[in-house]
Amino acid sequence: MAVFEEIAALDRLIHEPARLAILTALSACHSADFLFLQRLTGLTKGNLSSHLSKLEEAGLVKIEKQFVGKVPNTQASLTARGRAAIERHWQRLETLRSDAQRWKPS
């Protein structure tokens, strides 16, 4: 498959910019709370919630809801599958970037 076809075939669940930002942020820590992720990504509450739900349904993210005192708190963390998926994705992007830099038109 040509490098440009491989770029077009990237996993859209992970490669979508907001989800890529969420997964990348979560890969750098054990877990993060909803408000931290919202500030970090700049997403609205509704958008962040929607993206987290999609990632949770795919088994990439684990969501835990609890109360801290009387305040609700939502924690997100990568599952083992999610950690492996984001690592593979970034490795693939690095390889594709390298391949694209070496590409020459026929």
Sketch the domain layout of the chain as residue ranges.
3-101
pLDDT of residue 1: 57
Tell me how many degrees the CA angle 67-68-70 measures, rounded to the nearest 5: 70
**Integer Cα distance of 51 and 37 in angstroms:** 11
**Integer Cα distance of 87 and 27 in angstroms:** 8
The mean pLDDT of the chain is 94
Q: Does domain 3-101 have CATH number 1.10.10.10?
A: yes
Question: 100 pLDDT band (50/70/90 cuts)?
Answer: confident
Distances in whole angstroms, Cα of residue 95 to Cα of each of 26, 27, 86, 91 = 22, 20, 14, 6
pLDDT of residue 17: 96
